[in-house]
Amino acid sequence: EAGVTQFPSHSVIEKGQTVTLRCDPISGHDNLYWYRRVMGKEIKFLLHFVKESKQDESGMPNNRFLAERTGGTYSTLKVQPAELEDSGVYFCASHNDGSYEQYFGPGTRLTVT
Amino acid sequence: AQSVTQPDIHITVSEGASLELRCNYSYGATPYLFWYVQSPGQGLQLLLKYFSGDTLVQGIKGFEAEFKRSQSSFNLRKPSVHWSDAAEYFCAVGYTGFQKLVFGTGTRLLVSP
């Protein structure tokens, strides 16, 4: 069984540009999460999808961040326009209904210069 | 707000020595507790979890953790550290009804020869 995959693994963009991160959860996992770790800080929750619906987006920093999960499979997280403070590692995780065990992807390291 | 504290940012342990990584959480009810490990260039891997029952839980790679309700702690232990254990370790907490995880800031383990 394939694990959670994320693309790209690294992205370097300039302030003001747009970046789109992609996450493919484990097949059959309805629950999908985005987290972010800013350097030296804790991993922080951004939002939670159940299938294609946003269950909880309380961790989204501002309206420059847009997450989608069309069709309830893969998800994208777009940052537009990117700011320096958006730099960090963005993790995606997924799990089955009824399970609290989240499986994490390798993360996307975003650097905004 | 829920929080997780990992008081040690860095720990250096000699190979073959024992290890204990500390984790404290803030919440009144019994949480779901997790330890994740991130090796260089890798994603987050679940080491072990506590949901209920026996307060001493065994995980992969020879790790164990003990839930102590009176101390709101879930410390991670290993009797004999191997060089391959060098990584960053994250304690995380989830709560019934709140499926997102709250993470500590992580502890980076260095293993000396």
Segment A39-96, tens digit of pLDDT: 889 999 999 999 999 999 999 999 999 999 988 899 999 999 999 999 999 999 999 8
Instruction: Flag whether pLDDT at A37 surpasses 70.
Output: yes
Chunked into runs of 10 residues, chain B (113 residues) has average pLDDT values of 91 97 84 92 90 92 94 96 96 82 95 94
User: Quick check: B105 and A107 CB within 8 A?
Assistant: no
For residue B70, give the 3-state DSSP assignment: helix
Structure tokens at A89: 């590692």
pLDDT at B98: 67
The residue type found at B90 is F
Euclidean distance between CA atoms A8 and B108, whole angstroms: 25
- Among partner residues B43, B51, B104, which is closest to A105 by beta-carbon distance? B43
Closest CA in chain B for residue A106? B43
Question: Looking at beta carbons, which residues of chain B come within 8 Å of A33?
Answer: 99-101
Q: Residues A66, A72, A77, CA angle at the centre, nearest 5°?
A: 20
For an interface test with A, the pick among B4, B52, B99 (most A C-beta atoms closer than 10 Å) comes out as B99
pLDDT at B28: 63
Average pLDDT over residues A94-107: 89
Question: The tokens 């987050």 sit on which residue?
Answer: B44
Please tell me what DSSP assigns to residue B106. Answer: -
Instruction: Flag whether pLDDT at A29 surpasses 80.
Output: yes
Taking the CA of residue B51 and the nearest CA in chain A, the distance in Å comes to 9
Structure tokens at B5: 């504290």
Residue B76 bridge partners (DSSP): B21, B65
Question: Looking at beta carbons, which residues of chain A come within 8 Å of B34?
Answer: 101
Residues with Cβ within 8 Å of residue A81, at least 6 apart in sequence: A15, A16, A17, A18, A64
User: Quick check: A101 and B46 CB within 8 A?
Assistant: yes
DSSP states along A63-108: TTEEEE-GGGS-EEEEESS--GGG-EEEEEEEE-TT----EE---E
Closest CA in chain B for residue A93? B44
Euclidean distance between CA atoms B79 and B62, whole angstroms: 8
pLDDT at A87: 97
pLDDT more than 70, % of chain A:
99
pLDDT at A26: 94
